[in-house]
Amino acid sequence: MRIPSNPLVLIGPAILVVFAVSFAAVWVRDRRHQHLLFLGAACLLFCTGTLSQILAIPDGDGVNAVTSALIYTVSVLLLSDGLLRRSGARLPWVSYLIVPALIAGAIAYFYYIDRRLVVRIYLLNFGYGLIFLATAWRLRQLRGGRLPEQILFWVLVAFSLHFFPRTVLTVGATPPAAGDFGSSPFWLALQFSLAVLGVALALAVFAVTVSDMIETLRKERSTDHLTGLSNRLGFEEAANRLLRDARAWPICLVIADIDRFKSINDTFGHPAGDAVLRAFAKLLKETARRVDLSGRLGGEEFALLLPNCDTAGGYAFADRLRSIVRQTRFEGLPQSTYVTASFGLVIASRGESLSSLVARADKALYQAKRSGRNRVEIDAESLAAPAPARMPS
């Protein structure tokens, strides 16, 4: 083991340990963010690789070069995998076998067979830069995401690109002298750039993680856990935003209510009733367009807000959903038992509040109930409104 003459070289590894512990601590607090384990492991392994070189463990230049390269490569893969997993992607598991084997093998070749330090430097730095650039390419959708996601993407791009000019400018075609490698411009620039851009990348990941946790809490607050649809609060927040969007007009609101739902609970039990609610919500989501808003207002009452939809389009949608519900056999109910639903439909007026819109739709729904159920009713104001040309396909 070699004792470093300048203890300042240990600052980088110490920072990496702090980030590794921080990532693990956040994961312990919320274990849904499993990508943080990959990021923490990446920091810890990169710290191990750095210490391997600084302290000359294992001893011997050749075995140390191969060992540190192997450790660095796995840490780079873990970092890339963690960033990908945060966005729902991942590295193929075989990457953890093939990439380290190729890089460690190349380092061994250019040390033991054709000794070229400059080739080893370019191989590692350009290789890692390409791995990170490939990761950034797979995460390019973050450019249109929330502000923390955009920051993370561009910091990752900068971190990926810096491997190329830094290596060329500090190494060129002449490798550092073996005895002065730890004080060479290449090594000092490497430590400085990793300290600056590495910390920036870690902080960007933390910012995105905090944003993710806030978004998760917001979704939990506005989601109906039985059906997975928005609850009343979530639906109202999203609906009010849509009503303010001039591009969404005309807008149609449909209120749906499962007929005689209380008798389903009383006859077949609440588990069967819950199964009906979940299945109804699934039918609703499958029938609606991607731009439509859907939510469970409470009990067996559901709402859909349809942008760019006129009276005819809204009626066609509601009647299609009514027919699908009537033809569906629901889990937990006898095959001879049919479930039906009634619908109230309104077209929004300019400047009308959501509460007024819902009240009119409820009146139309009550009319459907009084008229025999399993039907769609349109309120009088919507029938009298001029028919725009746009409707859902």
Please state, in angstroms and rounded to a whole number, the distance separating the CA atoms of residues 195 and 69.
19
Place of tokens 């390419």: 137
* Count of CB atoms situated within 10 Å of the CB of 13: 19
Cβ-count burial of 297 within 10 angstroms (0-12 exposed, 13-18 middle, 19+ buried)? buried
Rounded Cα distance, 6 and 9, in Å: 6
Cβ atoms within 10 Å, residue 352: 16
φ, ψ (nearest 5 deg) of residue 176: -65, 155
Token duo for residue 376: 């769609």
Instruction: Give the Cα separation of 211 and 196 in Å (integer).
Output: 22
Can you read off the two tokens belonging to residue 244? 């303010």
Q: Is 220 an active-site residue?
A: no
Neighbouring-strand partners of residue 223 = 230
Active-site residue (options: 236, 300, 331, 352): 300
Question: Catalytic residue numbers?
Answer: 300
